Amino acid sequence: MITFVIIEFKRDKNVSVIDQGYAYLALLLNNKADFILLYNETGEKKTLRKNEVDWSQSRVIFISPSFTTYQRKAIEFRDLPIELWEVEIYSNNTILFNHIRSPEKSESVNKISQRSEVVRTVNKQVKVFNEEDHLERNNDTIHRLYKELKELILSISIDIHIKHKAKYIAYIHKTNFVDIVVRKSDLTLYLNMEKGKLNDPQNVARDVSNVGHWGNGDYEVKVKDSTDMGYILSLIRQSYENN
Protein backbone atom coordinates (compact mmCIF):
# COMPACT_ATOMS: atom_id res chain seq x y z
CA MET A 1 0.00 0.00 0.00
CA ILE A 2 1.09 3.57 -0.72
CA THR A 3 0.58 6.48 1.65
CA PHE A 4 0.79 10.16 0.77
CA VAL A 5 3.02 12.31 2.97
CA ILE A 6 3.01 16.10 2.73
CA ILE A 7 6.38 17.70 3.53
CA GLU A 8 6.90 21.40 4.10
CA PHE A 9 10.13 23.24 4.83
CA LYS A 10 9.10 25.95 7.29
CA ARG A 11 10.57 29.40 7.79
CA ASP A 12 7.69 31.11 9.59
CA LYS A 13 7.81 30.29 13.30
CA ASN A 14 4.55 32.08 14.09
CA VAL A 15 2.22 29.74 12.21
CA SER A 16 0.28 27.07 14.12
CA VAL A 17 1.52 23.66 12.97
CA ILE A 18 -1.75 22.08 14.11
CA ASP A 19 -3.97 24.38 12.04
CA GLN A 20 -1.68 24.27 9.03
CA GLY A 21 -1.13 20.52 9.19
CA TYR A 22 -4.80 19.69 9.41
CA ALA A 23 -5.60 22.12 6.59
CA TYR A 24 -3.13 20.25 4.37
CA LEU A 25 -4.61 16.87 5.32
CA ALA A 26 -8.14 18.10 4.65
CA LEU A 27 -7.02 19.31 1.23
CA LEU A 28 -5.49 15.91 0.50
CA LEU A 29 -8.49 13.87 1.69
CA ASN A 30 -11.00 16.09 -0.14
CA ASN A 31 -9.11 15.77 -3.43
CA LYS A 32 -8.01 12.13 -3.52
CA ALA A 33 -8.62 11.68 -7.25
CA ASP A 34 -6.50 14.73 -8.08
CA PHE A 35 -3.58 13.46 -6.00
CA ILE A 36 -3.74 10.02 -7.63
CA LEU A 37 -3.87 11.65 -11.08
CA LEU A 38 -0.86 13.84 -10.24
CA TYR A 39 1.03 10.79 -8.97
CA ASN A 40 0.31 8.87 -12.16
CA GLU A 41 1.37 11.80 -14.33
CA THR A 42 4.69 12.37 -12.55
CA GLY A 43 5.59 9.00 -11.07
CA GLU A 44 7.90 6.48 -12.71
CA LYS A 45 6.18 3.42 -11.26
CA LYS A 46 3.11 1.57 -12.47
CA THR A 47 -0.25 3.31 -12.55
CA LEU A 48 -1.63 3.80 -9.07
CA ARG A 49 -5.21 2.75 -8.32
CA LYS A 50 -7.30 4.29 -5.55
CA ASN A 51 -7.59 0.98 -3.66
CA GLU A 52 -3.78 0.85 -3.46
CA VAL A 53 -3.63 3.97 -1.27
CA ASP A 54 -3.91 3.77 2.51
CA TRP A 55 -5.43 7.17 3.24
CA SER A 56 -5.65 6.38 6.97
CA GLN A 57 -1.86 6.69 7.24
CA SER A 58 -1.59 10.12 5.58
CA ARG A 59 0.90 12.42 7.31
CA VAL A 60 2.25 15.96 7.34
CA ILE A 61 5.94 16.52 8.10
CA PHE A 62 7.26 20.00 8.89
CA ILE A 63 11.02 20.52 8.60
CA SER A 64 12.70 23.61 10.01
CA PRO A 65 16.02 24.75 11.52
CA SER A 66 14.07 25.26 14.76
CA PHE A 67 10.56 25.33 16.20
CA THR A 68 9.15 27.55 18.93
CA THR A 69 8.23 26.22 22.35
CA TYR A 70 4.57 26.76 21.41
CA GLN A 71 4.94 24.67 18.24
CA ARG A 72 6.69 21.89 20.16
CA LYS A 73 3.97 21.82 22.82
CA ALA A 74 1.23 21.86 20.18
CA ILE A 75 2.13 18.40 18.87
CA GLU A 76 2.17 16.66 22.25
CA PHE A 77 -0.58 14.21 21.35
CA ARG A 78 0.10 10.48 21.00
CA ASP A 79 -2.03 10.11 17.84
CA LEU A 80 -1.31 13.30 15.92
CA PRO A 81 -0.72 12.80 12.16
CA ILE A 82 1.82 15.65 12.15
CA GLU A 83 5.58 15.39 12.67
CA LEU A 84 8.18 18.05 13.40
CA TRP A 85 11.79 17.57 12.31
CA GLU A 86 14.58 20.02 13.06
CA VAL A 87 17.48 20.04 10.60
CA GLU A 88 20.96 21.41 11.17
CA ILE A 89 23.82 21.58 8.67
CA TYR A 90 27.39 21.60 10.03
CA SER A 91 30.53 23.08 8.48
CA ASN A 92 31.68 19.65 7.22
CA ASN A 93 28.35 19.29 5.33
CA THR A 94 27.01 16.79 7.85
CA ILE A 95 23.24 17.08 8.16
CA LEU A 96 21.51 16.22 11.43
CA PHE A 97 17.76 15.50 11.57
CA ASN A 98 16.12 15.58 14.99
CA HIS A 99 12.59 14.19 15.26
CA ILE A 100 10.67 16.06 17.95
CA ARG A 101 8.62 13.36 19.65
CA SER A 102 5.56 13.50 21.84
CA PRO A 103 5.76 12.14 25.39
CA GLU A 104 4.96 8.42 25.46
CA LYS A 105 1.95 8.94 27.74
CA SER A 106 0.55 12.02 26.05
CA GLU A 107 -3.17 12.58 25.53
CA SER A 108 -5.24 11.81 22.44
CA VAL A 109 -5.72 14.45 19.76
CA ASN A 110 -9.47 13.84 20.13
CA LYS A 111 -9.27 16.26 23.04
CA ILE A 112 -9.01 19.16 20.59
CA SER A 113 -11.18 17.68 17.84
CA GLN A 114 -14.35 19.04 19.42
CA ARG A 115 -13.15 22.59 18.79
CA SER A 116 -12.46 22.18 15.09
CA GLU A 117 -14.59 20.83 12.26
CA VAL A 118 -11.46 20.32 10.13
CA VAL A 119 -9.74 18.27 12.85
CA ARG A 120 -12.91 16.25 13.43
CA THR A 121 -13.31 15.51 9.71
CA VAL A 122 -9.68 14.50 9.18
CA ASN A 123 -9.64 12.27 12.28
CA LYS A 124 -12.50 10.23 10.85
CA GLN A 125 -10.21 9.11 8.02
CA VAL A 126 -6.68 9.33 9.42
CA LYS A 127 -5.55 6.99 12.18
CA VAL A 128 -2.31 7.17 14.16
CA PHE A 129 -1.69 3.87 15.93
CA ASN A 130 -0.11 3.38 19.35
CA GLU A 131 1.02 0.45 21.48
CA GLU A 132 -2.41 0.05 23.07
CA ASP A 133 -3.99 -0.58 19.66
CA HIS A 134 -1.76 -3.63 19.22
CA LEU A 135 -2.07 -4.99 22.76
CA GLU A 136 -5.66 -4.28 23.77
CA ARG A 137 -7.17 -7.36 22.10
CA ASN A 138 -4.57 -9.78 23.48
CA ASN A 139 -4.14 -11.55 26.82
CA ASP A 140 -1.85 -10.71 29.72
CA THR A 141 0.66 -13.41 28.76
CA ILE A 142 1.22 -11.83 25.33
CA HIS A 143 1.38 -8.38 26.98
CA ARG A 144 4.18 -9.50 29.32
CA LEU A 145 6.00 -11.29 26.52
CA TYR A 146 5.90 -8.19 24.34
CA LYS A 147 7.09 -5.92 27.17
CA GLU A 148 10.02 -8.28 27.85
CA LEU A 149 11.02 -8.41 24.19
CA LYS A 150 10.62 -4.63 23.85
CA GLU A 151 13.06 -4.01 26.72
CA LEU A 152 15.60 -6.41 25.23
CA ILE A 153 15.43 -4.80 21.79
CA LEU A 154 15.77 -1.29 23.19
CA SER A 155 18.82 -2.44 25.20
CA ILE A 156 20.70 -2.93 21.91
CA SER A 157 21.15 0.81 21.40
CA ILE A 158 19.87 4.19 22.59
CA ASP A 159 19.37 5.16 18.92
CA ILE A 160 16.37 2.85 18.39
CA HIS A 161 12.91 4.32 18.07
CA ILE A 162 9.50 2.71 17.64
CA LYS A 163 6.71 3.37 15.15
CA HIS A 164 3.29 1.81 15.51
CA LYS A 165 1.92 0.91 12.11
CA ALA A 166 -1.56 -0.41 11.28
CA LYS A 167 -0.45 -4.06 11.13
CA TYR A 168 2.82 -4.17 13.04
CA ILE A 169 5.17 -2.38 15.42
CA ALA A 170 8.37 -1.23 13.74
CA TYR A 171 11.72 -0.97 15.55
CA ILE A 172 13.91 1.44 13.62
CA HIS A 173 17.54 2.43 13.60
CA LYS A 174 18.29 3.92 10.19
CA THR A 175 15.44 1.83 8.83
CA ASN A 176 13.22 -0.95 10.16
CA PHE A 177 15.34 -3.82 11.46
CA VAL A 178 12.57 -5.82 13.13
CA ASP A 179 8.79 -5.57 12.80
CA ILE A 180 6.52 -7.24 15.35
CA VAL A 181 2.99 -8.44 14.68
CA VAL A 182 1.19 -8.99 17.99
CA ARG A 183 -1.12 -12.01 17.72
CA LYS A 184 -3.32 -13.79 20.28
CA SER A 185 -1.01 -16.80 20.55
CA ASP A 186 2.43 -15.35 19.76
CA LEU A 187 4.60 -12.47 18.63
CA THR A 188 5.50 -12.79 14.96
CA LEU A 189 8.79 -11.07 14.14
CA TYR A 190 10.03 -10.09 10.69
CA LEU A 191 13.78 -9.52 10.42
CA ASN A 192 14.78 -7.07 7.73
CA MET A 193 17.50 -9.18 6.13
CA GLU A 194 17.80 -10.73 2.69
CA LYS A 195 17.48 -14.48 2.28
CA GLY A 196 20.78 -16.26 2.96
CA LYS A 197 22.30 -13.51 5.14
CA LEU A 198 21.00 -14.55 8.57
CA ASN A 199 23.22 -16.75 10.74
CA ASP A 200 20.62 -19.02 12.35
CA PRO A 201 22.20 -22.35 13.39
CA GLN A 202 19.08 -23.39 15.32
CA ASN A 203 16.87 -22.80 12.24
CA VAL A 204 14.38 -20.76 14.22
CA ALA A 205 13.66 -18.31 11.40
CA ARG A 206 11.37 -19.19 8.51
CA ASP A 207 12.10 -18.07 4.96
CA VAL A 208 9.21 -15.83 3.82
CA SER A 209 10.95 -14.29 0.84
CA ASN A 210 8.25 -15.68 -1.45
CA VAL A 211 5.36 -15.38 0.99
CA GLY A 212 3.16 -12.34 1.50
CA HIS A 213 3.59 -10.78 4.95
CA TRP A 214 3.13 -7.43 6.67
CA GLY A 215 6.63 -6.70 7.99
CA ASN A 216 9.93 -6.03 6.20
CA GLY A 217 12.55 -8.64 5.38
CA ASP A 218 12.83 -12.26 4.31
CA TYR A 219 12.79 -13.95 7.74
CA GLU A 220 9.92 -14.71 10.13
CA VAL A 221 10.37 -15.74 13.77
CA LYS A 222 7.56 -16.89 16.08
CA VAL A 223 7.92 -16.08 19.79
CA LYS A 224 5.51 -17.95 22.08
CA ASP A 225 7.36 -17.76 25.40
CA SER A 226 10.59 -16.50 26.99
CA THR A 227 12.49 -19.77 26.64
CA ASP A 228 14.79 -18.82 23.75
CA MET A 229 14.64 -15.07 24.14
CA GLY A 230 18.43 -14.70 24.32
CA TYR A 231 18.90 -16.55 21.03
CA ILE A 232 16.09 -14.62 19.36
CA LEU A 233 17.70 -11.37 20.49
CA SER A 234 20.93 -12.47 18.77
CA LEU A 235 18.99 -12.80 15.51
CA ILE A 236 17.41 -9.38 15.99
CA ARG A 237 20.86 -7.91 16.72
CA GLN A 238 22.11 -9.24 13.38
CA SER A 239 19.30 -7.41 11.61
CA TYR A 240 20.08 -4.25 13.60
CA GLU A 241 23.75 -4.40 12.58
CA ASN A 242 22.79 -5.15 8.98
CA ASN A 243 20.63 -2.03 8.82
pLDDT values of the chain reduced to their tens digit, one per residue, 243 residues: 788 999 999 876 667 888 889 999 999 999 999 998 888 888 666 788 877 888 988 999 999 988 888 888 888 877 788 999 999 888 888 888 888 877 766 666 666 655 678 888 888 888 888 888 888 877 888 999 999 999 999 999 988 988 888 889 999 988 999 999 999 889 999 999 999 899 999 999 999 988 878 888 899 999 999 888 999 999 999 999 988
What is the spatial distance between Cα 101 and Cα 86, in angstroms, rounded to a whole number? 11
| pTM tops 0.85 | no
| Residues 48 and 139 occupy one common structural domain | no
| Residues 164 and 226 occupy one common structural domain | yes
Domain ends where: 93, 123, 153? Answer: 123
| Residues 118 and 139 occupy one common structural domain | no
Domain ends where: 76, 92, 123? Answer: 123
| Residues 15 and 100 occupy one common structural domain | yes
**CATH number, domain containing residue 219:** 3.90.1150
**Domain total for the chain?**
2
Domain ends where: 123, 150, 179? Answer: 123
| Residues 95 and 66 occupy one common structural domain | yes
| Residues 21 and 84 occupy one common structural domain | yes
| Residues 236 and 145 occupy one common structural domain | yes
Full residue range of the structural domain in which residue 50 is found? 5-123
| Residues 169 and 238 occupy one common structural domain | yes
| Residues 119 and 9 occupy one common structural domain | yes
| Residues 12 and 117 occupy one common structural domain | yes
Q: Report the 3 state secondary structure along the chain.
A: CECCEEEEECCCCCCCHHHHHHHHHHHHHHCHHHHHHHHHHHCCCCCCCHHHECHHHCEEEEEECCCCHHHHHHCCECCCCEEEEEEEECCCCCEEEEEECCCCCCECCHHHHCCCHHHHHHHCCCCCCCHHHHHCCCCHHHHHHHHHHHHHHHCCCCCCEEEECCCCEEEECCCEEEEEEECCCCEEEEECCCCCCCCCCCCCCEECCCCCCCCCCCEEEEECCCCCHHHHHHHHHHHHHHC
| Residues 168 and 73 occupy one common structural domain | no
| Residues 100 and 178 occupy one common structural domain | no
